[in-house]
């Protein structure tokens, strides 16, 4: 009797592959791995996860499953998470036992870089978390700001401004991280000495000042009126105020006019290299 292909015993003639359980591949090269074998990433740049958002994600996972695989690297006894911490936490909250994952062998530098890039692309990091991750890449792996900006897809000036947040008073850093004030507020307050930043921060929060108002407050604190000049207060010179407002509209930035006995001065403020280039082009009629 001839045995047909469909009647042949399974596992014969197929070598070790028939005897050893194989990872089940899925779309995009992902496999299903046990959640209890996934350990945290010690280089995870994100420090805080909103409990409400996590609960919402867990509810979605219960209904639809984990749509996008996490990224892990193999370590002794299991896997170490590289990217996808929210998905892992939400999957555990949803009661899942397994999760789709892409497994890659990565060095420490690559793990931090990929975790940072993924969170930045999703805009999941607060400004302070981004700043600390940037600093870690620079300090531990000798990235230049130029290299860092290329890797994370941010302008070099943006990276530099974010790094400056680490120089702020701890109270201001905490306010930025919690969302009490924005990154723009933090940069404005950075123009003051540490001992004044916390005091001015309280005024900014209590009075709900905008970034522009905060910049003006910082300027007044930093540059008290010079008694040797006879600057005409704006409130007593409507014409000067009108000219100042026209210049602000034309240039799209803060402009101050100050008269003195021998004429006066025009102060045009800018807040990034890109804005300086725009002002240069508008004033000169060409690119810098």
Return d(Cα 275, Cα 30) in angstroms, integer: 44
Name the average pLDDT for the chain: 76
Last residue of a domain, one of 107, 132, 160: 107
User: What ranges in 25-107 are assigned the alpha helix state H?
Assistant: 51-64, 85-93
Domain membership of residue 38 (yes or no) is: yes
**Average pLDDT estimate for 77-99:** 87
Task: State the residue range of the domain holding 211.
Answer: 169-224
User: What ranges in the chain are assigned the alpha helix state H?
Assistant: 51-64, 85-93, 108-121, 127-141, 145-152, 156-164, 170-178, 183-189, 194-206, 211-222, 238-251, 273-284
Q: Could you give the dihedral angle defined by the CA atoms of residues 124, 125, 130 and 136, in that order, rounded to the nearest 10 degrees?
A: -90
Domain membership of residue 121 (yes or no) is: no
Q: Which residue in this structure is represented by tokens 């530098």?
A: 109
> Given this model, what pLDDT does residue 60 score?
87
Q: Are residues 215 and 239 in the same domain?
A: no
179-218 pLDDT, tens digit per residue, is 899 999 998 999 899 889 999 999 999 888 888 889 888 8
CA nearest neighbour of 113 among 90, 88, 138? 138
Q: Are residues 258 and 185 in the same domain?
A: no
Return d(Cα 253, Cα 268) in angstroms, integer: 7
Return d(Cα 178, Cα 269) in angstroms, integer: 28
Q: What percent of the chain has pLDDT over 90?
A: 9
Q: Is 85 a catalytic residue?
A: yes
Marked catalytic residue, from 32, 40, 85, 239? 85
Confidence of residue 19 (pLDDT cuts 50, 70, 90): very low
Return d(Cα 277, Cα 93) in angstroms, integer: 49
CB atoms within 10 A of CB 103: 18
CATH code of residue 34: 3.90.1530.30
Above 80 in pLDDT, residue 110? no
Domain membership of residue 150 (yes or no) is: no
pLDDT higher for 61 or 272?
61
Above 60 in pLDDT, residue 5? no
Q: Which residue in this structure is represented by tokens 């201001």?
A: 172
Convert 234-255 to b/e letters by CB count within 10 Å (16 or more is b).
eeeeeebeeebeebeeebebbb
Above 50 in pLDDT, residue 17? no
Question: 34 with 92: CB under 8 angstroms?
Answer: no
Q: Are residues 210 and 239 in the same domain?
A: no
User: How many separate domains does the chain show?
Assistant: 3
> Given this model, what pLDDT does residue 47 score?
61
Domain membership of residue 120 (yes or no) is: no
């Amino acid at each position: 009797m001839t045995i047909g292909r469909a009647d042949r015993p399974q596992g014969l003639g197929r070598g070790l592959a028939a005897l050893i359980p194989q990872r089940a591949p899925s779309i995009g090269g992902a496999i299903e791995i046990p959640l209890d074998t996934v350990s945290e990433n010690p280089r995870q740049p994100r420090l805080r996860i909103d409990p409400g958002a996590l609960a919402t994600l867990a509810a979605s996972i219960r209904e639809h499953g984990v749509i996008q695989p996490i990224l892990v690297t193999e370590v002794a006894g299991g896997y170490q998470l590289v990217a996808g911490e929210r998905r892992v936490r939400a999957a555990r909250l949803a009661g899942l036992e397994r999760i789709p994952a892409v497994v890659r062998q990565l060095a420490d530098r690559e793990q931090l870089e990929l975790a940072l890039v993924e969170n930045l692309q999703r805009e999941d990091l607060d400004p302070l978390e981004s700043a600390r991750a940037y600093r870690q890449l620079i300090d531990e792996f000798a990235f230049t700001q130029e290299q860092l900006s290329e890797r994370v897809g941010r302008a070099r000036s943006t990276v530099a401004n974010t790094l400056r947040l680490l120089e702020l008073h701890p109270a201001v850093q905490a306010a930025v991280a919690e969302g009490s004030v924005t990154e723009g507020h933090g940069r404005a307050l950075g123009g003051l000495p540490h001992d004044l930043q916390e005091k001015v921060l309280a005024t900014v929060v209590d009075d709900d000042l905008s970034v522009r108002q905060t910049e003006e407050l910082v300027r007044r604190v930093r540059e008290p009126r010079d008694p040797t000049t006879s600057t005409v207060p704006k409130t007593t010179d409507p014409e000067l105020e009108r000219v100042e407002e026209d210049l602000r509209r034309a240039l799209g930035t803060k402009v101050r006019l100050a008269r003195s006995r021998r004429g006066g001065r025009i102060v045009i403020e800018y807040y990034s290299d890109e804005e300086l280039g725009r002002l240069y082009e508008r004033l000169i009629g060409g690119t810098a």
